[in-house]
Amino acid sequence: MKILLDAMGGDNAPNSTLQGAADALREFGDGMTIALLGDPDKLRAAAKELNIDLSPFELIPCTEDIDMHDDPVKAVRHKMDSSMVKGLTMLKNGEGDAFVSAGSTGALHVGTSLIVRTVKGVKRPALATCMPGKKQPFLLLDCGANAECRAEMLNAFGTMGSVYMNRVMGRQNPSVALVNNGAEDTKGTPMYREAHGLLRRNPSIRFVGNIEPRDIMAGEVDVVVCDGFVGNVVLKLTEGVAGTLLGMLKDIFMQNLVTKVCYLGVKKGLRGLKHKMDSEEIGGAPLLGAARPVIKAHGSSKPKGIKNAIRQAKTCVENDLCGTMEAALAELNSKGDTAQ
For every residue of 67-125, DSSP letters joined together read -TTS-HHHHHHH-TTBHHHHHHHHHHTTS-SEEEE-S-HHHHHHHIIIII-B-TT-SS-
The reported pLDDT for the residue numbered 340 is: 44
Q: Which residues have CB under 8 Å from 177's CB, separation 6+?
A: 207, 208, 209, 210, 211, 221, 223, 224, 225
The reported pLDDT for the residue numbered 339 is: 43
The reported pLDDT for the residue numbered 111 is: 94
Chunked into runs of 10 residues, the chain (340 residues) has average pLDDT values of 94 94 92 95 95 94 89 92 96 96 92 91 86 88 88 91 83 93 87 94 91 91 94 87 84 86 81 67 82 91 92 88 81 56
Contact by Cβ (8 Å): 190, 216: no
Assign 3-class secondary structure to 128-176: EEEECCCCCCEEEECCCCCCCCCHHHHHHHHHHHHHHHHHCCCCCCCEE
The reported pLDDT for the residue numbered 338 is: 43
The reported pLDDT for the residue numbered 251 is: 87
